[in-house]
Structure 1
Amino acid sequence: RQFKDVLDGFGIPYTYQGTAATREVLLAEVQAGNPPDIAILPGVGELVEYAADNRLKPLTGLYDPGEYGNPWLPEAEGIKKDLWVPLKVDLKSIVWYREGETPRPAPAPLDAWCAAMGDDGSSGWPGSDWIEDLLLQQAGQVLYARWATGDLPWTAPHVVTAWTTWAHLLAQGSREERQAILTKDHRGPAGGHGLLFGGGCSLEHQGSFARSFYGDRRAGAAFTDSAPLLPGGPYTVKAHEVSADFAALFGDGEQARTMIRRLTSERAQEEWGREGGVFSANSAVPARTGEVEREVGHRLTEQRVPLCLDASDVMPAAVRDAFYEAVLLTVAHPDEPVLPRLKDIQKVQDAQLDRVPRLTGVCGRPQ
């Protein structure tokens, strides 16, 4: 609703199509020869595939790349620059807890964690965030970036260790508890206050967008870095995982170009942040007020700690989907060996590498 309010303020005619099945709807429209003028996707991996097919129009002159530091403008080998720009971003590698219940800086048992894999779109991504964060804090940004971009095999020791660590945490639960994790919605019950305020758990490994789930209880939520609390730790904070919604142009009409220019403007980014509670990658946008907002903003701009884009968001769609499927299988059967599942994902990845260019610059220190 807040995003549409921003769009309405531009005075540019538009038709907004929102869907949980973003990939399927966009792919069908592109294949039918009727793509949208502008697409906004929760990851840049799919956009690389469209760029490789020369479907995207350059955004040159519509925004100032100098206002975006690392890793917000990743590039792809052999692909033109300026084909996507982040409209909003989120901080990950954090854990939410109820105000006044600060957790000890030590690994927490499964029964402390709010966990659910369900989603309107692709189930399993909340579990992929666990794997990604574990690999990032265990192995660091260099190996993480190699893995995310297809250079480090899924069967590499550090990847296996991250999966095994998470599987050991899941194995603490009963079959019934794991079934609940598989079927529950990650946002909590409809009309409720999210998982964190729904009873039964005290920690939630979720991005900065989680406060939107908490409704009128959001002021009672605080967060801390995930590294000390992750299984197998405590770890030191090696980097923060982040995510972004990227906009790309499929059409080259002047109104569509003007819309991108307005959406990326400092004024629109500040308004959307203020009214919608979102964060901007644009360094020209003033920092938001509020204690939680300042803490998130600090981590998004702190040059000492690198930022890394969500790995599944930079992977080709087929690899990402195989990743999610393996996550769900691990939740259901954490006692089974993880290596066969990782070999299956590797087979999918091997089939993509000759067709889909690899991204670069998915990790970096903000400017």
Structure 2
Amino acid sequence: MLLLTTAGCGLAAPGGSDAEPKVTILGPWTGAQEDRFTDVLDGFGIPYTYQGTAATREVLLAEVQAGNPPDIAILPGVGELVEYAAEGRLNRLGDLYDSKEYGTPWRPAAQGLADDLWVPLKADLKSIAWYRDGEAPPPQPAPLSAWCAGMGDDGSSGWPGSDWIEDLLLQQAGPALYARWATGDLDWTADYVVTAWTTWAGLLSQGSRAQRRAILESDHRGPEGGNGLLFGGGCTVEHQGSFARSFYGDRQGRAVLTDSAGLLPGGPYRVRGHEVSADFAALFGGGDAARALIRRLASEKAQEEWGREGGVFSANSAVPARKGEVEKQVSSRLTDQGVPLCLDASDVMPAAVRDAFYEAVLLTVAHPDEPVRARLEGIQKVQDAQPATIPRLTGVCGRPQ
């Protein structure tokens, strides 16, 4: 039903006249984030139609299967783009951006594919925790009662839990093993993966059934029209990426961040890496207007404007760091050459593996005392069933340039 609903609106009719067709864009931003993004687009003078949805995968798949994909698709990760690239559906970007301005892991390579099939437009720092200014952070490690948590999402419920497991594995095992696991070179039943998952399940088991049900039913953005989870309940610390400030509304100035490594269950750990994510743009259409729009979006000027007005961070090393204490803290971590950056593991996995990951997360929240290994064996079966034709990614961890 979701496929039928989403396919029947938005991009199916590109709009505009035959003399001046509009560039069709599919992206993950809605609400205030969509408003800030379209403000940037409006300044280009290029006619466009933008559809924002949390269900980018489902919408894009429906459009591709209908033979009418958007000119530009912006996805929160490259796992799906690799599959489309292997099918020959993406056009090369060529000189539409300066590749020298992007280092590892912002330009992960896919075996056997060209290295200019996508470009990151927006970056986010993970491996951080938020707390309220003026209130001391909870003890290290923080108990379940201190954590704000919600697994709900319009598109892929469960991913906030995958961030926990990814962060735990990164801080416990280090970037090298994390990268092997993310790219399918380390089995889901390996000791390091079992340990990370068991650690998180142990945190969840501290709570009652009612607490875990609330975690399952809560949206990770907090109640609609509210100020996020951090300012909407009795919890004191939240494990979310740098994008979380947009959920805090007029209270975002009271949000303070710290490295999550000291607060994670089983810790405190030393910071062995920073998990990051990005939204990558790819060209499904080859028209001149679409290419011009990608060039403008990836430009230093547009990236700086979007950051200044929209509060986002850029993966482009040529874009100046923004002012503000939180902005400085995020930027310093994104550019610290002493600590590796690692792309969100679920974002680089094949879509089917990622979905199995999210499902196992939700089951673990509901039943944290059940054996972890059985869940991981189920995900491994999905991974083993992936076609050998899907190229594997490399370079998902690296030190910023």
Aligned counterpart in structure 2 of residue 307 of structure 1, from 325, 328, 341: 341
Partner SS, residue 192 of structure 1: coil
* Structure 2 residue 350 is matched with structure 1 residue 316: yes
Alignment correspondent of 2:306: 272
Question: Aligned partners of 2:138, 2:247: CA distance in 1, in Å?
Answer: 24
Alignment correspondent of 2:25: none
- The alpha carbon displacement at 1:100 in A equals 1.5
Question: Aligned partners of 1:195, 1:250: CA distance in 2, in Å?
Answer: 37
Alignment correspondent of 1:340: 374
Question: Percent same amino acid among aligned pairs?
Answer: 80
C-alpha contact 2:138 2:146 (8 A) present in aligned 1: no
Question: Aligned partners of 1:353, 1:155: CA distance in 2, in Å?
Answer: 20
Q: Flag structure 2 segments of 5+ consecutive residues without an equivalent.
A: 1-34
Alignment correspondent of 1:60: 94
Once the two structures are superposed, residues 292-351 of structure 1 have per-residue CA deviations (whole angstroms, 9 ceiling, x without a partner) of: 000000000010000000000000000000000000000000000011110000010011
Once the two structures are superposed, residues 85-114 of structure 1 have per-residue CA deviations (whole angstroms, 9 ceiling, x without a partner) of: 000000000000000223256101000000
* Structure 2 residue 386 is matched with structure 1 residue 352: yes
Cα distance change on mapping 1:24 and 1:104 into 2, 3 Å:
closer
Question: Aligned partners of 1:70, 1:219: CA distance in 2, in Å?
Answer: 31
Question: Aligned partners of 1:75, 1:216: CA distance in 2, in Å?
Answer: 40
* Structure 2 residue 152 is matched with structure 1 residue 118: yes
C-alpha contact 1:243 1:309 (8 A) present in aligned 2: yes
Question: Aligned partners of 1:288, 1:276: CA distance in 2, in Å?
Answer: 11
Once the two structures are superposed, residues 264-310 of structure 1 have per-residue CA deviations (whole angstroms, 9 ceiling, x without a partner) of: 00110001001110000111111100000000000000100000000
Question: Aligned partners of 2:173, 2:130: CA distance in 1, in Å?
Answer: 23
Alignment correspondent of 2:247: 213
* Structure 2 residue 2 is matched with structure 1 residue 2: no
Question: Aligned partners of 2:296, 2:218: CA distance in 1, in Å?
Answer: 38
Aligned counterpart in structure 1 of residue 112 of structure 2, from 73, 78, 84: 78
- With the length of structure 2 as denominator, give the TM-score of the two structures: 0.91
Provide the alpha-carbon RMSD of the alignment: 0.8
Alignment correspondent of 2:16: none
Alignment correspondent of 1:254: 288
* Structure 2 residue 126 is matched with structure 1 residue 92: yes
Partner SS, residue 16 of structure 1: strand
Question: Aligned partners of 2:387, 2:123: CA distance in 1, in Å?
Answer: 27
Counting only pairs closer than 5 Å after superposition, residues 100-139 of structure 1 correspond to structure 2 as 100-103=134-137, 106-139=140-173
Equivalent position amino acid for 1:11 in 2: G
Alignment correspondent of 2:268: 234
Equivalent position amino acid for 1:271 in 2: E
Equivalent position amino acid for 1:246 in 2: F
Aligned counterpart in structure 2 of residue 44 of structure 1, from 63, 71, 78: 78
C-alpha contact 1:105 1:228 (8 A) present in aligned 2: no
- The alpha carbon displacement at 1:353 in A equals 4.8
C-alpha contact 1:155 1:339 (8 A) present in aligned 2: yes
The structure whose RCO (Cα within 8 Å, separation 6+) is larger is 1
- The alpha carbon displacement at 1:199 in A equals 2.2
C-alpha contact 1:319 1:349 (8 A) present in aligned 2: yes
* Structure 2 residue 359 is matched with structure 1 residue 331: no
Once the two structures are superposed, residues 227-256 of structure 1 have per-residue CA deviations (whole angstroms, 9 ceiling, x without a partner) of: 011000110000000000000001111000
Once the two structures are superposed, residues 116-163 of structure 1 have per-residue CA deviations (whole angstroms, 9 ceiling, x without a partner) of: 100111100000000000000000000000000000000000000000
Alignment correspondent of 2:4: none
Partner SS, residue 52 of structure 2: coil
Partner SS, residue 94 of structure 2: coil
* Structure 2 residue 208 is matched with structure 1 residue 182: no
Equivalent position amino acid for 1:209 in 2: F
Alignment correspondent of 2:17: none
Deviates more, 1:259-268 or 1:18-27: 18-27
Find runs of 4+ consecutive structure 1 residues off by over 6 angstroms: none
Question: Aligned partners of 2:138, 2:61: CA distance in 1, in Å?
Answer: 46
Aligned counterpart in structure 2 of residue 245 of structure 1, from 273, 276, 279: 279
Alignment correspondent of 2:205: 171
C-alpha contact 2:72 2:283 (8 A) present in aligned 1: yes
Question: Aligned partners of 2:147, 2:47: CA distance in 1, in Å?
Answer: 45
Partner SS, residue 17 of structure 1: strand
- The alpha carbon displacement at 1:355 in A equals 3.0
Counting only pairs closer than 5 Å after superposition, residues 140-179 of structure 1 correspond to structure 2 as 140-179=174-213
Cα distance change on mapping 1:148 and 1:353 into 2, 3 Å:
farther
Partner SS, residue 227 of structure 1: helix
Q: Flag structure 1 segments of 5+ consecutive residues without an equivalent.
A: none
C-alpha contact 1:85 1:247 (8 A) present in aligned 2: yes
Aligned counterpart in structure 2 of residue 295 of structure 1, from 286, 308, 329: 329
Alignment correspondent of 2:234: 200
Alignment correspondent of 1:282: 316
